[in-house]
Amino acid sequence: AADTPDSLEERLRILERKLELAEEQAANNAREAPAIKINEKGVGIQSAQGDYEFKFRGLLQADGRWFIDDRAPRTHDGFLLRRVEPTFELTLGKALFFRIQPNFAPDNATVSDVYGELRLSPVFYVRAGKFKAPVVLENLQASAATVFNERGLPNELGPNRDYGVQFGGAVLSNTLSYAIGVFNGAPDGRDATQQPETDNRKEVAARLFAEPFKNSPGFFQGLGFGVGASHGEKQGSAAANAVKYRTPGQNTFFSYLTTVGYDGDETRVSPQAYYDRNGLGLLTEYIVAKQKVAVGSNHEKLDNTAWQVVGNYLLTSEDASYAGLTKPKRPITQGGAGAWELVARYGELDVDNDAFPLYADPTQSASKARTWATGVNWYPLGNLKIALTYSQTGFDGGAASGADREDEKLLFSRFQIAF
Amino acid sequence: AADTPDSLEERLRILERKLELAEEQAANNAREAPAIKINEKGVGIQSAQGDYEFKFRGLLQADGRWFIDDRAPRTHDGFLLRRVEPTFELTLGKALFFRIQPNFAPDNATVSDVYGELRLSPVFYVRAGKFKAPVVLENLQASAATVFNERGLPNELGPNRDYGVQFGGAVLSNTLSYAIGVFNGAPDGRDATQQPETDNRKEVAARLFAEPFKNSPGFFQGLGFGVGASHGEKQGSAAANAVKYRTPGQNTFFSYLTTVGYDGDETRVSPQAYYDRNGLGLLTEYIVAKQKVAVGSNHEKLDNTAWQVVGNYLLTSEDASYAGLTKPKRPITQGGAGAWELVARYGELDVDNDAFPLYADPTQSASKARTWATGVNWYPLGNLKIALTYSQTGFDGGAASGADREDEKLLFSRFQIAF
Amino acid sequence: AADTPDSLEERLRILERKLELAEEQAANNAREAPAIKINEKGVGIQSAQGDYEFKFRGLLQADGRWFIDDRAPRTHDGFLLRRVEPTFELTLGKALFFRIQPNFAPDNATVSDVYGELRLSPVFYVRAGKFKAPVVLENLQASAATVFNERGLPNELGPNRDYGVQFGGAVLSNTLSYAIGVFNGAPDGRDATQQPETDNRKEVAARLFAEPFKNSPGFFQGLGFGVGASHGEKQGSAAANAVKYRTPGQNTFFSYLTTVGYDGDETRVSPQAYYDRNGLGLLTEYIVAKQKVAVGSNHEKLDNTAWQVVGNYLLTSEDASYAGLTKPKRPITQGGAGAWELVARYGELDVDNDAFPLYADPTQSASKARTWATGVNWYPLGNLKIALTYSQTGFDGGAASGADREDEKLLFSRFQIAF
């Protein structure tokens, strides 16, 4: 019972229309459905129009610190969690960005970064909350990407995370970035704490950073340089006592006497640069922190300075980058050896000699620290880094009877998952 | 080589069947696939049958507090994080609801809300965990929705979040809601702390709230009124010493002497109402906290009272609401001016005069505080609120030699992201 | 105007091709789209190839503790949050696993578990971070699955969570699991704290556990047995003072004198077994903790021991399991009665008599504790458990003049949501 062609044509027409509708429906669904991603960068959900986006990322640093030859241990050898930072980011309607990065690493949870950003144009944003003050280059590098377990000595003189408001952006085809902010004022080398804000005074911090050849492949493409600075009034002993310069092993080798107070403004200036080419990465920076201190009727302007050079070299043909390495070219899960990286650092921190003995105790606080470190980082597969590095730090002064503080010799291990 | 109609018919039949199957498949997929949403309300994942649902939401309040004319600063000017609350909610099989809202705002993370709810019917739920005791109207308003940076003086006399079990629900077409719970007992104006629970005694808190015209558009639709109350036994000085009445600037202006102890029950009663119509919002409440205190052989029943009126008016034709404003009608990203809101408050807190001088030190604690505040809130785009408000609080007593405590004059700023 | 067959054939061919393409597209989409799941096990997102996977799970335990006949209350009656643990897990490229489980339960947030795992094969993994040392059976059971609100007395002698590195895996068709790790060394019954690591010495912990009939249905299928052990050097009074044996009500009934220090190694050995069959679950374990302590010139080797038997029986035909019960067979939302479970425990902890009076104060510390408990757990619907149990603990010594410490009689309630 064959149909007549007429009826066939009718059925065909219906079918054509149905398929058209199904295709429209599928296209509509695709247009409206949020895009879900899960890969080595974590979890992402993006609205169909792209104006809302959620990201979940994470960082775990399980470290070991093994002090060698320490006759009078200041810190015990052992395993520790250095950073445990799940991160939630949300873009809300394109112009608004929200980021929260708790840190569960010490025994009590805190928040590392938390801020909102109004991104009115590529060249201008306003940011409010708690975040890194824009001064020290290695400090601004992501914690998952730093070459060694701990940042270097210049970091001890700069501000770390602070509470405030910042304006910034990037101009000239993204080759020049700027940031300027007003903050409560963080102690040298530390986060500002919210409770208590130690004084009524505020601090301004700013940074200009150029990557002039960023968009031009070639020898200079990976070059970036700039300057960060801060200026703020600080008063009182609570602020001065928060200053504690630390070794790589996180032992304090310099602090002011508890009777010392800040006595006016602190100014920091930090010229800085990095250069990456193929497997080679270099980072160098200098910082001077000019501090006015007083004790009793004595007043002094102190210039504390620090500098460092950090280098890393990837032996397995991956590219070195200030942003760190996410994926080895030949992971062990594919029969490769993973990525291997040699690392080295030299740095110095020099406390103004006028600090002694009126403002700091020469038998407790060293006037100078010199540190060198070297080691190897292994990236067996994506998101995983296993590091073993050795760090040695020597001092001028800091012990009884004019002697030098004992060298700190330290073996660092790290098991890091970052996504 | 044209096919015969028969063969064409065959191919057509196959095609029809195939399309039918593909449509069924697509329908099945749609029926089984969880629905993902990401928009100005955050991230949501809902199972296909709707019985499981996950929500991620967040709140960031980056504030500034700038005290004016403060001769002896009690709190330093500065930036602070007032609330950093990511929220995770999960509905598990329709009847079970779970909510966790950590707060990363101070230097140590805590949890604001965390509870489970068994929702056996629309008119009845059981809730257990840590959550707001059902007493003070403005306290129960979402933190993202309050008109000013800080809640008013009645909030200082009511309980805040507490540990316990609550029954509640809504009846009469959702126009009457009720809640009654048993709690550890929170100090006036504060969260209960878990460690240590200060005494063996418990507190009962309850609230009845009516919105009789909720479902009837018209002049009275936005009217809600009710009464909250608590009654509990309290004993000892730890409980009494946790009582600290604060100014909007979060400075304590009244506390009991450390030798004072609770000596029996505390009863709080709080009639309350709000009214919203078009751009106008009003909220008013009164509270009396009747406390039995003792020191040595002296016993006293004290009646501390507070009340306030809060108003807000949206200039840009959005509707005012107790639930707050999520989206301006004309966001700046669409060339508009955002939403603009004028706000005002007046409130008083009156400590029973019998408290002085036996139970509180008149040179340290004020017997009365009067506060007024005004300002402007700007919602440039969805999820973002920028607020600038001025608050002034005067006192009776609280300073040496019978003088009045210095007025608190305070400029508040806020950068708020809520989703 | 009928078409000619030729033209019909042309249209048909186009249609066939179009449908083919649409089917390919749909298949491609299905192949590439991540799979989203939301159900009684929480939220999961899995990449299309299955090598990346995200999971969000949670645990809330809202407890009540009601002490009966306590003349001199050591802990106040009240509601508390025992555990508030959202958990995020991420599998990154099959071989790498990341888990973070914060705990927001006390007033300050901490992290329970956080570790990374490199899973090179089913029989071998490396884990680094903070997690449970592999010694005590009930300690290793999930907190949501333990039969009673608090774990038993053997748990007081074993290590809890610690910082370190562990190797482990399962062999013989998953019937034998092993784990061995190096840790900082956790005090008896407690988590290790990161700051400060109390000494330079480390602890090795290991466990071998067999479920020989796991894959053979029958009478012995649910049998598991094994032994956990730890050995480590410990020095000094900080480590010894962290030892505090607790009752089920979390009151300390034994601690060393503050002048006592560890004086060498501590060795723990714990044989252990469980057996599940149908509705019946049994768990038993013994532990000896051999500790070298010293005070002044006195040295002693102490053997503290504990053991317990725990049983549970499901009255409503669900199967008992070491992993706990997720879903009742007949939830109340489907007209059923939920699942009902009877539970019972007996346990003892015996402190070495040589500890008294030189190392512990017999008027403060008991030399022996005996505890029994019984109660009922109700699972009204999936993910929810409501428990009411009674626990009674008696002591030898621990009070003035050679008297026995007052019995602890304690009613526990629990409202638990786990997913």
Q: Which fold has domain B35-418?
A: Porin (2.40.160)
Longest CA span, chain A: 115
pLDDT, one tens digit per residue, over A28-38 is 887 888 999 99
Average pLDDT, chain C: 93
Q: What is the pLDDT of residue A196?
A: 57
Of C5, C16, C42, the CB nearest to B5: C5
Q: Parallel, antiparallel, or unpaired: how do β-strands C203-210 and B384-397 relate? A: unpaired
DSSP A194: S
Of A19, A23, A106, the CB nearest to C194: A106
pLDDT, one tens digit per residue, over A146-183 is 999 999 999 999 999 999 999 999 999 999 999 999 99
pLDDT, one tens digit per residue, over B312-356 is 999 999 999 999 998 999 999 999 999 999 999 999 999 999 999
Q: Per-residue pLDDT for C10 more than 90?
A: no
3-state class (DSSP) for residue B18: helix
Note whether A121 contacts B: Cβ–Cβ < 8 A: no
Q: What is the pLDDT of residue A5?
A: 58
Of C37, C108, C417, the CB nearest to B98: C417
Name chain B contacts of A102, Cβ cutoff 8 Å: 102, 104, 109
Note whether A142 contacts B: Cβ–Cβ < 8 A: no
Name chain C contacts of A44, Cβ cutoff 8 Å: none
Closest residue by Cα to residue C33 from C56, C57, C55, C52: C52
Q: Where are the domains of chain A?
A: 40-418
Minimal-distance CA residue of chain C relative to A72:
C200
Neighbour subunits, A (≥3 Cβ pairs < 8 A): B, C
Alpha-carbon separation of residue B110 from A106, B133, B199, C102 (angstroms): 14, 18, 22, 11
Show the tokens assigned to C202.
């480390």
Neighbour subunits, B (≥3 Cβ pairs < 8 A): A, C
The answer to whether the CB of B332 falls within 8 A of the CB of B381 is yes
3-state class (DSSP) for residue C239: helix
Note whether B140 contacts A: Cβ–Cβ < 8 A: no
Query: Which neighbouring-strand residues pair with B57?
Result: B87
User: How close does chain A come to C394, measured CA to CA in Å?
Assistant: 34
ipTM: 0.94
Show the tokens assigned to B16.
């029809």
Name chain B contacts of C86, Cβ cutoff 8 Å: 88, 100
DSSP B13: H
pLDDT, one tens digit per residue, over A323-342 is 999 899 999 999 999 999 99
Note whether C42 contacts B: Cβ–Cβ < 8 A: yes
Burial of C135 (0-12, 13-18, 19+ CB in 10 A): buried
Note whether B173 contacts C: Cβ–Cβ < 8 A: no
Q: What is the pLDDT of residue C1?
A: 45
Of C38, C58, C80, the CB nearest to B52: C38
DSSP B398: B
Quick one: CATH architecture of C36-418? Beta Barrel (2.40)
Q: Parallel, antiparallel, or unpaired: how do β-strands A96-103 and B78-92 relate? A: unpaired
Note whether C38 contacts A: Cβ–Cβ < 8 A: no
Task: Give A7's pLDDT tier (boundaries 50, 70, 90).
Answer: confident
The answer to whether the CB of A177 falls within 8 A of the CB of A225 is no
Minimum mean pLDDT range among A65-69, A353-357, B95-99: A65-69
| Beta-carbon pairs below 8 A across chains A and B | 154
Count CA atoms within 13 Å of residue C286 on its CB side.
4
Note whether C54 contacts B: Cβ–Cβ < 8 A: no
3-state class (DSSP) for residue B408: strand
Neighbour subunits, C (≥3 Cβ pairs < 8 A): A, B
The answer to whether the CB of C419 falls within 8 A of the CB of C41 is yes
Q: Parallel, antiparallel, or unpaired: how do β-strands B176-183 and B366-379 relate? A: unpaired
CB contact under 8 A, A415 and C116: yes
User: How close does chain C come to A400, measured CA to CA in Å?
Assistant: 25
B215-B218-B224 Cα angle (round to 5): 60
Note whether B129 contacts C: Cβ–Cβ < 8 A: yes
Complete DSSP assignment for A223-282: EEEEEEEEEEEEEEHHHHHT-EEE-TTS-EEEE--TT-EEEEEEEEEEEEEEEEETTEEE
Name chain A contacts of C19, Cβ cutoff 8 Å: 19
Residue A324 neighbours by CB under 8 Å, 6+ apart? A141, A142, A144, A145, A146, A418
Count CA atoms within 13 Å of residue A177 on its CB side.
14
Of A12, A16, A84, the CB nearest to C114: A84
The answer to whether the CB of B263 falls within 8 A of the CB of B292 is yes
Q: A40-418 has which CATH code?
A: 2.40.160.10
Note whether A131 contacts B: Cβ–Cβ < 8 A: no
- The span from the CA of A150 to the CA of A245, in Å, is 13
CB contact under 8 A, B42 and A108: no
Query: Which neighbouring-strand residues pair with C282?
Result: C275, C311
Show the tokens assigned to A137.
């280059």
Looking at per-residue pLDDT, the higher value among A235 and A113 belongs to A113
User: How close does chain A come to C202, measured CA to CA in Å?
Assistant: 8
Share of chain C above pLDDT 90, in %: 82
- What is the arithmetic mean of pLDDT over C97-113? 90
| Helices A5-32 and C5-32, packing angle to 10 deg | 20
Q: What is the pLDDT of residue C244?
A: 95
Of B3, B45, B108, the CB nearest to C36: B45
Note whether B100 contacts C: Cβ–Cβ < 8 A: yes
The answer to whether the CB of B238 falls within 8 A of the CB of B275 is no
Q: What is the pLDDT of residue A107?
A: 75
Q: Per-residue pLDDT for C198 more than 70?
A: no
Question: How many CB atoms are closer than 10 A to CB C245?
Answer: 22
CB contact under 8 A, C40 and B52: yes
pLDDT, one tens digit per residue, over B84-141 is 999 999 999 989 999 999 999 877 888 999 999 999 898 999 999 999 999 999 999 9
User: How close does chain A come to B244, measured CA to CA in Å?
Assistant: 18
Task: Give A1's pLDDT tier (boundaries 50, 70, 90).
Answer: very low
Q: What is the pLDDT of residue A198?
A: 64
C121-C126-C132 Cα angle (round to 5): 125
What is the residue whose two structure tokens read 């405030």?
A: A164
Note whether A73 contacts C: Cβ–Cβ < 8 A: yes
Name chain B contacts of A84, Cβ cutoff 8 Å: none
Q: What is the pLDDT of residue B198?
A: 65
Burial of C301 (0-12, 13-18, 19+ CB in 10 A): middle
Query: Which neighbouring-strand residues pair with A210?
Result: A176, A225
Burial of B167 (0-12, 13-18, 19+ CB in 10 A): middle
Complete DSSP assignment for B226-249: EEEEEEEEEEEHHHHHT-EEE-TT
Of A22, A58, A383, the CB nearest to C93: A383
Note whether A316 contacts B: Cβ–Cβ < 8 A: no
Q: Per-residue pLDDT for A102 more than 70?
A: yes
- What is the arithmetic mean of pLDDT over B203-228? 97
Name chain B contacts of C383, Cβ cutoff 8 Å: 92-93, 96
Of B109, B114, B198, the CB nearest to C60: B114
DSSP B341: E
Q: How far is CA C305 from the centre of its chain?
A: 21
Alpha-carbon separation of residue A99 from A51, A92, A223, C110, C353 (angstroms): 16, 11, 29, 21, 57
Most confident of B19-28, C227-236, C306-315: C306-315
Name chain A contacts of C11, Cβ cutoff 8 Å: 12, 16
The answer to whether the CB of C262 falls within 8 A of the CB of C295 is no
Q: Per-residue pLDDT for A2 more than 60?
A: no
CB contact under 8 A, C107 and B110: yes
- Pick among B31, B79, B195, B410 to test the A interface (most A CBs inside 10 A): B79
Task: Give C222's pLDDT tier (boundaries 50, 70, 90).
Answer: very high
Note whether B118 contacts C: Cβ–Cβ < 8 A: yes
Show the tokens assigned to A75.
């810190």
Query: Which neighbouring-strand residues pair with A390?
Result: A374, A411
Average pLDDT, chain A: 93
Show the tokens assigned to A166.
């910042």
Q: What is the 3-state secondary structure (H, E, C) of chain A?
A: CCCCHHHHHHHHHHHHHHHHHHHHHHHHHHHHCCEEEEECCEEEEECCCCCEEEEEEEEEEEEEEEEECCCCCCCCCEEEEEEEEEEEEEEECCCEEEEEEEECCCCCCEEEEEEEEEEEECCEEEEEEEEECCCCHHHHCCCCCCCCCCCCHHHHCCCCEEEEEEEEEEECCCCEEEEEEEECCCCCCCCCCCCCCCCCCCEEEEEEEECCCCCCCCCCCCEEEEEEEEEEEEEEHHHHHCCEEECCCCCEEEECCCCCEEEEEEEEEEEEEEEEECCEEEEEEEEEEEEEEEECCEEEEEEEEEEEEEEEEECCCCCCCCCCCCCCCCCHHHCCCCEEEEEEEEEEEECCHHHCCCCCCCCCCEEEEEEEEEEEEEECCCCEEEEEEEEEEEEEEECHHHCECCCEEEEEEEEEEEC
